[in-house]
A and B are shown apart, each in its own frame.
Chain A
Amino acid sequence: MSDRYVVRNPETAWRVYDGQAVILLAGDSTLNTLNAVGTYIWREADGTTPVSAIVARVCEEFEVEPAQAERDSADFIDKLCQRGLLMVTESPQERR
């Protein structure tokens, strides 16, 4: 995952309350809620920040061991990709 980039599906609408993201996917109107770490990754998923950098920031913010953070982040990103909320790219997205 370290050389990849994650970007939020533009068909999502979201808000953050008390550090937890509430995400609505337009395509099927599903509602997802993320915990604090998930919300941090979600916010960072701008398509221009490498996953490795996001994981490093998660380690700092939440005092997690790098190996565990990398493993948990990869699982989390996979899960959100399966749900159609995130997309993984091999190269950075152009900033809008």
Chain B
Amino acid sequence: MGRDDAVGTVKPTSPAAARGAQTELSLAIAGVRAAIVMRDATLADIVRQRYKGFLSGGKPRWRIALDVDTVVPPAVPGDVVVRRDGHPARLAVERGDFSAILDLDRRCGRVALNAPNEFSIDSFLRIACTLALLDVPGLVVHAASLIRGDKAYLFCGRSGAGKTTLTRLSPDATLLSDELSIVTMSNGHARCHGTPFWGELARAGEDRCAPLHAVFFLHHGGRHTVEAVRPGDALKQLLSTVLFFAREPELTARVLGIASNLVESVPCFDLHFRPDAGFWELVDHV
């Protein structure tokens, strides 16, 4: 199925839906395909435009109903709360601008946004990815990621670490993300995936993936240096950049397990760099 086929209109199935046609868009991020079902035309337009590089055909594994509900009680602005909602696999996700329920077992959810806002949709999808990827298994990491010569490289760091700078210095590499990257594990092998989640670059990554060749923890420096990091120290650094909001012990244990597998499978390094492309000479030779 081509990409144009991913955008379809389904018939209304309830009195509420009868007010207007539903739009169903299928998004695939890191291979996790989700049908996003919307009754609000503005919302559908935003999703179609914002995630155009990640619209996909095929059968979705997830189904998310996305709607606008102006009576959503405002939480603390910017504060994300993810808590169990009865069943262990059913999670309530709340922020000042949206409220959602996700069922990890049934792979479905519904989201109520305060307003048809691109930023709110993106924030919800980022959080949803952290939860949906656990089954893959995979992680969302505060990291820039690039493909160069069929190898993917992950550059981890919080805000200000230089993620966007590094991607701007790499015009010949394929951009996977300048802000939030996704790594999945399969049989002891890590792969890095492009994401639609951007930082200062304001540009989505390519919908591609490649074997993860190395992980770098970013540090500003006066010169370029690369130093190997042992798995224990790498795990600590990696965990400090993993995006995850749920507080459930079982889910936390899964995050730790995936992160452990990653640092045991892929060589990790501290990368001190200054803002010029010379760091690739070191990165290419690790």
Interface residues of A, Cβ cutoff 8 Å to B:
10-15, 17-18, 20, 22, 24-29, 31, 33
- Contact check, B232 vs A10: say whether CB atoms are below 8 A apart: no
Bound Cα distance A49, B19 (Å): 65
- Contact check, A17 vs B232: say whether CB atoms are below 8 A apart: yes
- Contact check, B248 vs A26: say whether CB atoms are below 8 A apart: yes
Cβ of B197 under 8 Å from chain A: no
CB distance from B17 to the nearest CB of A (A): 38
- Identify the closest chain A residue to B230 (Cβ): A18
Bound Cα distance A11, B248 (Å): 8
CB distance from B57 to the nearest CB of A (A): 37
Bound Cα distance A81, B257 (Å): 24
Cβ of B205 under 8 Å from chain A: no
B238-286, CB < 8 A from A = 239-240, 244, 247-249, 251-253, 255-257, 260
Q: Which residue, of A11, A18, A22, has the highest number of chain B Cβ atoms within 10 A?
A: A22
Knowing A26-B252, A29-B252 are in contact, say whether A17-B235 is a contact too (CB < 8 A).
yes
The one of A25, A27, A31 in contact with B236, judged by C-beta atoms closer than 8 angstroms, is A31
CB neighbours (8 Å) of B249 from chain A are 10-13, 26
CB neighbours (8 Å) of A27 from chain B are 247
Q: Which residue, of A20, A26, A27, has the highest number of chain B Cβ atoms within 10 A?
A: A26
Bound Cα distance A33, B233 (Å): 10
- Contact check, B252 vs A24: say whether CB atoms are below 8 A apart: yes
Knowing A17-B231, A18-B232 are in contact, say whether A31-B247 is a contact too (CB < 8 A).
no
CB neighbours (8 Å) of B240 from chain A are 31
The one of A10, A18, A29 in contact with B244, judged by C-beta atoms closer than 8 angstroms, is A29
CB distance from B16 to the nearest CB of A (A): 37
Interface residues of B, Cβ cutoff 8 Å to A:
230-232, 235-236, 239-240, 244, 247-249, 251-253, 255-257, 260
- Contact check, B232 vs A22: say whether CB atoms are below 8 A apart: yes
29 contacts between A and B (CB under 8 A): A10-B249, A12-B249, A13-B249, A13-B255, A13-B256, A13-B257, A15-B232, A15-B235, A15-B260, A17-B232, A18-B230, A18-B231, A18-B232, A20-B232, A22-B235, A22-B236, A22-B239, A24-B239, A24-B255, A24-B256, A25-B252, A26-B247, A26-B248, A26-B249, A26-B251, A26-B253, A27-B247, A29-B247, A31-B239
CB distance from B248 to the nearest CB of A (A): 6
CB neighbours (8 Å) of B235 from chain A are 15, 17, 22
Given contacts A24-B255, A26-B253, 18 further A-B contacts (CB under 8 A): A10-B249, A11-B252, A13-B252, A13-B253, A15-B232, A15-B256, A17-B230, A22-B236, A22-B239, A24-B239, A24-B252, A24-B256, A26-B248, A26-B252, A27-B247, A29-B247, A31-B236, A33-B236
CB neighbours (8 Å) of A33 from chain B are 232, 236
- Identify the closest chain B residue to A18 (Cβ): B232
CB neighbours (8 Å) of A31 from chain B are 236, 239-240
CB distance from A87 to the nearest CB of B (A): 14
CB distance from B141 to the nearest CB of A (A): 14
CB neighbours (8 Å) of B255 from chain A are 13, 24
